[in-house]
Structure 1
Amino acid sequence: MVAVLLGILKSGRSYIPLDPVFPKDRLRYIVENSKSKILIGENKYELEGTENLSKITLEDILERTNRFEGNLPVTISPEDTAYIIYTSGSTGNPKGVEIGHHSLLNFLSSMQQKPGISSKDIFFSVTTYSFDISILEFFGPLISGATLYVANQKVLSDPSLIIEKLEHIQPTIIQATPSFYQLLFNMDWHGNKKTKMLCGGDLLSEALAKVLLDRSLEVWNMYGPTETTIWSSVKKIEQFHDASNIGTPINNTQIYILDEFLQPLPIAVSGGIYISGDGLAKGYYKNVELTQKGFIKNPFDDKRLLYKTGDVGKWNYTGEIEFLGRNDNQIKIRGYRIELGDIEKNILKYSENLKQVVLELKEVNNEKVLVAYFVSAINIDKSELRRFLQQRLPDYMVPNFYIKLEKLPLTPNGKTNRKALPNIEEKDIIKKEFVAPRNHTEERLVLIWKEVLNIEEIGVTDNFFELGGHSLNAMVVIKKIITEFNIEISIGDILFKREIQAIAAIIDEKEWLHTSLDFKNEIII
């Protein structure tokens, strides 16, 4: 796929990554909204409703490589579009962020200098190509003459395989979100004192920063929204209490801390983070109104625009920026930026009886989870609502918990009082009629789920994801199952089976096969 992306860029065209695991309706919207003409993908993937597009399979491209000769006589301007990334939008549909070649090249050349990528490096890529930070992982090493290893889906779906590959390849650089690093450490990864670890896409905690510092060569905190080309500032973390420090701007980039009147704020005073410079996107694709709203006149440079990030920060006394969080209706979870309005609008489509919906990010078992609070005239089947959303939203945008309220708490001026929204209790978890474990395997699995999910009572027909589970803590469950039962099991077994009784049946079958093979070997001997 990396070679295909390079080919598209060299042809003078731009690319729009589509993740096949996203809901089909969302993918179709992106295709229709972007007016794409060509769809490139593997044979095994089909997207209904795209019959008018020219389709090229990856397999066909690879088969014909020997027939391609010479270079296309194409001149590419720095202002031409390199790629368009669709991110969550407040209208209920994703919006396309259009990045030009000049912005991309400025970013990549800056990354070569700091954090630094050289021809001696081995870069271990773990990010799906639909997430913009993957662009650094793909192209940063290649323009530097470094070695690039791209972990495939089979590796990424199994934390033990990721660790095995890390031990085998011994990379000098890896980039990932805080939640990805935490997952590996939860799986007993010891890190590598020869590896430079880049961390971004979400808030870096002091606890994780301490572990990273203890188990790496260097730790770099990376900050930036998609609209300013991936990362806009970097900071080499020397001490764990610098975890919220996002450092200084990259090359040809200006960052401002401003008040509501766009006036600069002094050191140690918090304000909105605004970004200008060569990294600014060309705008939101085919959306002039949204572009004019997000990219505003720059009061400090009339030749450049200014992007309002919606983040809050402050200058410290060393000339670096402390990141303080968000000041709008956007959040970041597992590295993905999400407009809460996008989810809220999709929930309201489920039933006319849903009167009000508010999404909030809460912390459960030291992990951030999405919680949907709703007001409804009737009882809502939470399991059905969750299935409805799974057909329309990517997995990371589907709320983990659903709480019905008589009314939403309000502030004195009539706005939703998010601080007064109740915390999650066990009664808020989606549970089926309790069915107790019926054998030793189910009993052991119940204990594992209780430990990971921190829930008192779990039945063998309860759904792991309706109990608040997600793909990251599912991997923790897998590790515990492998240790407890001494068998191999994949993330797919939990993602698709979801219930203890079904997973127990898989374990019993694997144990029976293992025992049978041992018995046959004994007879042969």
Structure 2
Amino acid sequence: MKDYQNLWVTLLSNKKYYKHKPLLTYKNQSYSFDLFLEKVRLLCNILLKQQEKIIAIQVSDPIHSLFLIVASLVAKKTYWMVNEEVIQSVNLNILKDVLIVDDQLYEHFIDSNDDAELPLSVKANISGFHPFCWVNSSGSTANHKITEYLYQGLLEDTLRQIRNNNITNNDRIDIVSSLNFSASLSSIFPVLYSGASLHLCDSTLDIIDFWRQEKITMTTLTPSLFRTLLKRRVSIDLPHLRFICLGGEEVFTSDILLFKKHFHKNQVLQLALASSETRMIGELKVKADTNDEYKEIKYQPIEGKKWIILDQNDEVEVEADEKEGRIAIQSHAIGHRYINSYDSFKQVDENTTLFISNDMGKIDQNGQLHFKGRSDNRIKIKGTFINLSEIEANLSLIESINDIAAIADSTYENLYVFVTTSSNGKDEIKRIIQASFPKLTYQLIILDKFPKTNSDKVDRKNLLKRVSSVEKVKDPYQNAWRKQFPLIDNFEGKHFFNDLGGDSLTSLSLITELEVVIGKELSPQLIYLYPTFEKLKDALYDSNTFNLIQVTEYSSFKENILFIPSIHGSHEQYRFIQESLKEKYNIYLLQYPLKENPSDKQFYSFSMLIQQCVSFLDQSNISFKAFIGYSLSGYITYEIAHLIQQQPSVFIIDTPIYEKQSLLMKVMNDSLKTLKIIKKNFFNSSELVISYKRLKRRIKQQYFHTSSNDVSIQTIHDYFFSFYAELLHSKIKVSTTTFPLGVFIANDQSFFSNDIKATYQWEKYSQNLLFKKTLTGNHGSILNKENSLSIAATIINELKEVTDYNNRILETALTKELIIDIE
């Protein structure tokens, strides 16, 4: 296997192309080539000092991500773009040799001001066997998988792309999706190796306007995004855009028609058959002014990549034009292996890898590949064999349909066809499905828009979750029970759990389902205490309640204020505020369902709790003037107000916005270091005990400020992952809101550990921030009597101003309406 030039040397050789143009643009800012090299040099010097070989990049600014990507490669490290979901989904063992660089660590790196020159070692060539990057699959149809690319695989495919698509230093290439999307590889590295410029699209911009403004010449899109952009346009004038690549999802012949409708002359559409594991394995290039008709998409082979169609046993190669089967790809320019899985990749020889995909197809006598959808899209529903891709292809021909997704549930008993449409053509959609699949039973669901993954693909998992909001389940308890025993036709509530075939695994699954239904934690032992459906339901039913406690005597002449308590349900800390407000308002307190075991230190799932609160309050038919929450319940209050049907004013008391990663990453890294040392000294029991106790004591002192011996490393690890993994690891995501928001802040922030960076920049999320008021005290004392009186007075005054403002708006509207009537 050959060696490759270090990227730093390549960059220096391309410097001549950037004398009169920037290398990068983003949000109306340009980044010169010299500035780019300076940032890469600084970061590279720092990364060279780190022992970890994998650099996991989790920074919010994509420009900073690009600096880190290139610095990692120059330092001969392997880069990996990650987010919270990816980190949570992988086994901790994978993270042993990984350095996670978040925003805080990135700023620390930049502040180091390391001005040393790069060592000569970075200028040396790199073996083609060296790992280049880790790439995540989107996880839209399966669990997250991580593909490792070697230098040979990634660079050979990049150079092929530059040759075949005639990429030059005059091209202006964009990125419109997240850098976590593997398609970004097809933009970043062709730019760096050709001297072209890279332009990142701000998510707030219209993409068509962005193309026009930046004079983009080449773009890569998902088909669903392409359809969304063009189906609602009458005409598009983009003379600079010469090349559009569609990939990442299945493409249809209707996409070609859409392209030919909006583009002209020499503009080219490239339909790419590609995946995160292989990049592009087949293509069809279409010129906008061609008269050719495309009744079926037939892919041309890609240089250096061999197609193999396997038989039903995934073993024997099928002859061309004989039968369809699973598509395997043999090449030196594809992924090398899965990091977190062992299937699909096989090493043919030193330079060549075979990847067996889930895609189906056949090769005709002309050597063209006919793609036939994914193997997991071929299913049998109620006796009828169907191909979900075929349904989507047929519906894509309807002009008024923008997005389509045909999805079966996990039992393969129900089929759902989701669409977004610019008209009410429900009958036309049903007619087309009926003509192609006369025996098919399905449910048609029309949405305003589809949920998308970070890579702009249709989020099919999320769509299927929405079915529960479309279908009304008559008995959620029975639904949870029946899911465990789908083959039982005559379900009766008197059947015993064990008699139905239940075991320990089934009991865990059932308890998990029931926890979602009732919103509290349960013990699997309940299944054996109440072994029939009827007994278990009766035992749980009474505890499945939220309540509104009326703290003050009700008056129909007063408006209502709701206090959101802490997770433990106490409202004692609010007593001084409630006392001050009761003369003007009816005071209510939200009460959560009690937990089965109050001494249990595990916390509620915040996202689930918020959804349940919203559902309960929407059904209560009580209108509230304001919500009030303190500390963590301030987060809950804020998100409830965002989701609820009414729009009250919200007042949150010392509710900081935490830096999401700092504490969690520190705990993770310390835990992993502990595991490493324990493993290292495994065969020496005395050193093992000493190491364990020393590290346990250090972590306890650092995070719990105690040296007590009753807390183990595992307890610490579990504690933080049950609580902070949701709070700091983006399970709670602060929403952008328009309701009136008031923020009270304690001036003494000593309560928060240095590891938790607390900020109060709520103006980033609230578009209607009334005030930020600082009070004397720390987090624990902010609700003393003096502060509570001040808080209550501020709330009364602000609510009066909000009411006066709303009355003026209403008066103006009524006046205008009266004038119109008179005229």
- TM-score, normalization by structure 1: 0.59
Q: In the alignment, what sits opposite 1:180?
A: 225
Task: Confirm or deny that 1:35 pairs with 2:96.
Answer: yes
Q: In the alignment, what sits opposite 1:452?
A: none
Asked whether the equivalents of residues 100 and 281 of structure 1 are also in contact (C-alpha less than 8 Å), the reply is yes
Using the alignment, how far apart are the partners of 2:165 and 2:415 within structure 1?
34
Q: Which moved more, 1:92-101 or 1:323-332?
A: 323-332
1:413-444 CA-partner distances (Å, limit 9, x unpaired):
xxxxxxxxxxxxxxxxx9966899x9xxxxxx
Task: Confirm or deny that 1:200 pairs with 2:247.
Answer: yes
Q: In the alignment, what sits opposite 2:307?
A: 255
Q: In the alignment, what sits opposite 1:209?
A: 256
Asked whether the equivalents of residues 253 and 294 of structure 2 are also in contact (C-alpha less than 8 Å), the reply is yes
| Secondary structure, aligned partner of 1:259 | coil
Q: In the alignment, what sits opposite 1:100?
A: 150
Change (3 A) 1:361 1:242: farther
| Secondary structure, aligned partner of 1:182 | helix
1:167-205 CA-partner distances (Å, limit 9, x unpaired):
211111000101121222256472624321010001112
Asked whether the equivalents of residues 136 and 276 of structure 2 are also in contact (C-alpha less than 8 Å), the reply is no
1:98-155 CA-partner distances (Å, limit 9, x unpaired):
110000011101101223311221101112121111111111122011111122xxx2
Using the alignment, how far apart are the partners of 1:409 and 1:268 within structure 2?
39
Asked whether the equivalents of residues 265 and 271 of structure 1 are also in contact (C-alpha less than 8 Å), the reply is no
Q: In the alignment, what sits opposite 2:382?
A: none
Q: In the alignment, what sits opposite 2:271?
A: 221
Q: In the alignment, what sits opposite 1:363?
A: 418
| Secondary structure, aligned partner of 1:110 | helix
Change (3 A) 1:267 1:190: same
Task: Name the aligned partner's letter for residue 278 of structure 1.
Answer: H
Asked whether the equivalents of residues 222 and 233 of structure 1 are also in contact (C-alpha less than 8 Å), the reply is yes
| Secondary structure, aligned partner of 1:134 | helix
Using the alignment, how far apart are the partners of 1:176 and 1:361 within structure 2?
26
Q: In the alignment, what sits opposite 2:466?
A: 400
Using the alignment, how far apart are the partners of 1:275 and 1:409 within structure 2?
38
Using the alignment, how far apart are the partners of 2:140 and 2:177 within structure 1?
25
Task: Name the aligned partner's letter for residue 363 of structure 1.
Answer: F
Change (3 A) 1:235 1:58: farther
Task: Name the aligned partner's letter for residue 177 of structure 2.
Answer: T
The correspondence of residues 268-279 of structure 1 with structure 2, limited to 5 A, is 269-279=323-333
Asked whether the equivalents of residues 223 and 232 of structure 1 are also in contact (C-alpha less than 8 Å), the reply is yes
Task: Name the aligned partner's letter for residue 37 of structure 1.
Answer: V
Q: In the alignment, what sits opposite 2:66?
A: 2
Asked whether the equivalents of residues 154 and 334 of structure 2 are also in contact (C-alpha less than 8 Å), the reply is no
Shift of 1:273: 1.0
Change (3 A) 1:117 1:255: same
Asked whether the equivalents of residues 314 and 322 of structure 1 are also in contact (C-alpha less than 8 Å), the reply is yes
The correspondence of residues 440-455 of structure 1 with structure 2, limited to 5 A, is none
Task: Name the aligned partner's letter for residue 247 of structure 1.
Answer: Y
Asked whether the equivalents of residues 460 and 500 of structure 1 are also in contact (C-alpha less than 8 Å), the reply is no
Using the alignment, how far apart are the partners of 2:414 and 2:155 within structure 1?
37
Change (3 A) 1:33 1:501: same
Asked whether the equivalents of residues 172 and 199 of structure 2 are also in contact (C-alpha less than 8 Å), the reply is yes
Q: In the alignment, what sits opposite 1:61?
A: 110
Asked whether the equivalents of residues 169 and 196 of structure 2 are also in contact (C-alpha less than 8 Å), the reply is yes
Using the alignment, how far apart are the partners of 1:224 and 1:259 within structure 2?
21
Q: In the alignment, what sits opposite 1:147?
A: 197
Asked whether the equivalents of residues 121 and 173 of structure 1 are also in contact (C-alpha less than 8 Å), the reply is yes
Task: Confirm or deny that 1:121 pairs with 2:171.
Answer: yes
| Secondary structure, aligned partner of 1:231 | strand
Using the alignment, how far apart are the partners of 2:250 and 2:175 within structure 1?
20
Asked whether the equivalents of residues 253 and 297 of structure 2 are also in contact (C-alpha less than 8 Å), the reply is no
Shift of 1:75: 4.5
Bigger RCO of structures 1 and 2 (CA < 8 A, at least 6 apart): 1
Change (3 A) 1:24 1:257: closer
Q: In the alignment, what sits opposite 1:235?
A: 284
Change (3 A) 1:24 1:250: closer
Change (3 A) 1:23 1:280: closer
CA RMSD of aligned residues (A): 4.8
Change (3 A) 1:82 1:125: same
Change (3 A) 1:138 1:91: closer
Task: Confirm or deny that 1:25 pairs with 2:73.
Answer: no
Change (3 A) 1:207 1:127: same
- Unaligned runs of at least 5 residues, structure 1: 44-55, 334-339, 345-355, 368-393, 411-429, 439-458, 464-493, 516-525
Task: Name the aligned partner's letter for residue 217 of structure 2.
Answer: T
Shift of 1:263: 2.5
Task: Name the aligned partner's letter for residue 167 of structure 1.
Answer: R
